[in-house]
Structure 1
Amino acid sequence: MPVEVMIEDARWQAAGLEALAARAAAATLAHLGLDPDAWEASLLACDDARIAVLNADFRGKPAPTNVLSWPSDDLSADMPGCAPLPPEPSEDGFLGDIAIAYDTCAREAAEAGRPLADHVTHLVVHAVLHLLGFDHIRDPDATLMEATEVAILGKLGVCDPYG
């Protein structure tokens, strides 16, 4: 899956974000039976200050967070715990936008005793699932989303972040 990465914080280059994002996004689409080459997304690699502004502007929460996503289409399921609708093929195949903050990701990885690459892989999988209509607000939806994340991460050799 082509992921257009825009790096605002140079620390992301050292972390190998472009390769991590491409691998995680492609694995997510493949797991869901979608052709990774038919879809794309953009990823803003920023710091806590930038993501706090985005979080305030779009969610009314003026604080940093690890990752945000803006789907191009609402694919969410009507019934709790059901799989989202598959995306409709389109000329551009654009699924949406993602932003990820280095400071929060690095802190969370250190606190969890996990490699930064594993945590970032998890967050990109998580964000791409959001672009595809998955959510975790309702308990049944959270159960489905987390199980899907764990299955994808397992295929990538990343341990269960919830276990």
Structure 2
Amino acid sequence: MVWRETGIMDERLHFVGECLAGEETMTALCAAYGISRKTGYKWLERYRALGPAGLIDLPRAPLEHGRATAAELVARIVAEKEANPQWGPKKVLARLKRSAPQLCWPAASTIGEILKRHGLVGRRRHRWRAAGCGPFAPANGPNAVWSAD
């Protein structure tokens, strides 16, 4: 016996087609397709509104983040950094808090991320390290090489 391969879109189209034919009730069709009645009505309404394109899965990610920093605050942070390019996020935050203490400013780490997102923060300089941790000279005899651990 040969198995038929069907995709999600094919099954949804068959479901909507059978719903629109009106031969069976919505409850029976939903039971046959293994979906809830709520989902069945959702696919039917989407098909009526948008046609076959309405049966495609919509993205589940939220359009707006609920705890995102307000655009006005971001604009003021960026403007302060552009006016004083040498300042870091802590000094920018301190200056903004002094100029407008009534506003709820984000943390210094959040300001650092905002500045990084806008390309206003360069890479940190590589830290200089002493060369004393490398391989030691071979010892030829007692007290020939002195080193500290």
Q: Above 0.5 in TM-score?
A: no
Greater relative contact order (Cα 8 A, min sep 6): structure 1 or 2? 1
Q: Of Structure 1 and Structure 2, which has the larger fraction of its residues in helix?
A: 2
Give TM-score, length-normalised by structure 2.
Answer: 0.23
Q: TM-score, normalised by structure 1?
A: 0.22
Which one has a bigger Cα radius of gyration? Answer: 2
| Structure with the larger strand share | 1
